[in-house]
Amino acid sequence: MRNPFDTDERRAFRESVARFVKQEIEPHADAWDEAGTFPWEVHEKACALGLFGFGIDEAYGGNGFDDAFMRCACAEELGYGGIGGVIASIGCRSIMVGLVAGFANEDIKRRALPEILSGRRGGALGVTEPSGGSDVAAVQTRAVRQGDEWVLNGSKTFITGGMHASHYVIAARTGAEGGAGLSLFFVDADAPGFTRSALERKMGWWSSDTATLYFDDCRIPASHLMGEQDKGFALAMNNFNYERLFMCAQMLGMARRCMDEAVAYAGQRRTFGKPLIKHQVIRHKVADMSSRIDAMEALINQICWLVNEDRMPVAEISKAKFFCSTALEFCANEAMQIFGGAGYLRGHPVERIYRETKVMAIGGGSAEIMRDLAVRQMGL
């Protein structure tokens, strides 16, 4: 079914992302995942398409306009590629550039944004700590003002892109306990007192780098405070909305890929004298997958429409996040089942997606936290 919100521009953008994924990423997906890394030039090629510059001025290397439908078309086509590790690594800049554009000082914006948005350098967002990620208001990393510097002490973990990033947005405590005492900081990877180490052997996203970051009397200029002191919690929360919407669209692409692969396989695989697709149980699996995919798309379209109207539908986004991760888990599971033993072998997109469903239900706000948030938004 044609998306009723499509325009020529949106369609052309979507096609350019799909072409990029098919030509530049998919042929290498298995090799890069097994290697646990991929060439840096992929960042530059992806960024050259303007994938992450929405809502950011051209003066800083951005696209000069915003469109939620295009953001989501990008995420969906990347997700359809079926290699989440590459998407996580190139896409992690998208969860920090909006904060930099909105709240870093002019010098940082002019210096760092063009580097990050062109793909020459990486950027990462550090919120989660070894002590926990769900309760953002409980961040323990501390920043203390000393003269014309901030001194950071603490640690962040599970930071996507953290090993290769040159620039970070870091949440740290500058005031009292709770959300009202948090601030955001811009930290360069060469800041004194900053080190990092790799988190290895993940369940999925093998080709992405994930880091633990350490701040030991890490000194950054006073001007690297982003926005107002102690007002970082609200900035981080608003930023999560875009991350979650991006993830929903990525999950839509992943679910679609599962269904398409399963349908293609069921068309040629024969059991009991006929193609699998002619067995009613398999046909029902396809119907169940397809209905969930339609629902995901409808939800995402509705949210995009609202975001383009300058309304940030927090409740709808949190509901969509857990709805999409549950729907994706269903589609990946059914697709794997249709493949039978063939799906159990490493290197197939469905096998990769199956391993990557879990992180979509945890990262960017877990399914439990999303349900909590949705109900709170209902005033309960």
Ligand X SMILES: Cc1cc2nc3c(=O)[nH]c(=O)nc-3n(C[C@H](O)[C@H](O)[C@H](O)COP(=O)(O)OP(=O)(O)OC[C@H]3O[C@@H](n4cnc5c(N)ncnc54)[C@H](O)[C@@H]3O)c2cc1C
Residues found near ligand X in the complex (CB under 6 A): 92, 124-128, 132-134, 158-160, 202, 205, 210, 359, 362-364, 366, 368-369
Residue number, 85 or 253, with CB nearest to ligand X: 85
Residue number, 47 or 304, with CB nearest to ligand X: 47
Min CB(6)–ligand X separation in Å: 31
Min CB(204)–ligand X separation in Å: 8
Residue number, 93 or 348, with CB nearest to ligand X: 93
Min CB(196)–ligand X separation in Å: 12
Q: Are 322 and 367 in contact (CB under 8 A)?
A: yes
CB atoms within 10 A of CB 99: 22
User: Which of 206, 198, 164 has the alpha carbon at shortest distance from 356?
Assistant: 206
List the structure tokens of 207. 């080709």
| Nearest-angstrom CA–CA distance, 149 and 169 | 16
> What is the DSSP pairing of strand 122-126 with strand 165-173?
parallel
Residue number, 303 or 359, with CB nearest to ligand X: 359
Residue number, 27 or 132, with CB nearest to ligand X: 132
| Nearest-angstrom CA–CA distance, 318 and 329 | 17
Min CB(208)–ligand X separation in Å: 7
Residue number, 343 or 364, with CB nearest to ligand X: 364
| Nearest-angstrom CA–CA distance, 261 and 336 | 10
Q: Which residue is nearest to ligand X (CB)?
A: 133
Residue number, 150 or 205, with CB nearest to ligand X: 205
Reduced to 3 states (helix: H, G, I; strand: E, B; else coil), residue 132 is: strand
Residue number, 293 or 317, with CB nearest to ligand X: 317
| Concatenated DSSP letters of 303-355 | HHHHHHTT---HHHHHHHHHHHHHHHHHHHHHHHHHHGGGGGSTT-HHHHHHH
Min CB(206)–ligand X separation in Å: 10
User: Which of 241, 307, 211, 250 has the alpha carbon at shortest distance from 73?
Assistant: 250
Side-chain-side CA neighbours of 201 within 13 Å: the count stands at 0
Residues with Cβ within 8 Å of 6's Cβ and at least 6 positions away in sequence, in order, are none
Min CB(365)–ligand X separation in Å: 6
CB atoms within 10 A of CB 110: 13
Min CB(325)–ligand X separation in Å: 11
Q: Are 254 and 79 in contact (CB under 8 A)?
A: yes
- Which residue in the block uniquely carries the two structure tokens 């209905």? 291
Min CB(24)–ligand X separation in Å: 23
Residue number, 69 or 98, with CB nearest to ligand X: 98
Element (H, E) at 203: none
Min CB(230)–ligand X separation in Å: 19
- Residue 200 gets which letter from DSSP? P
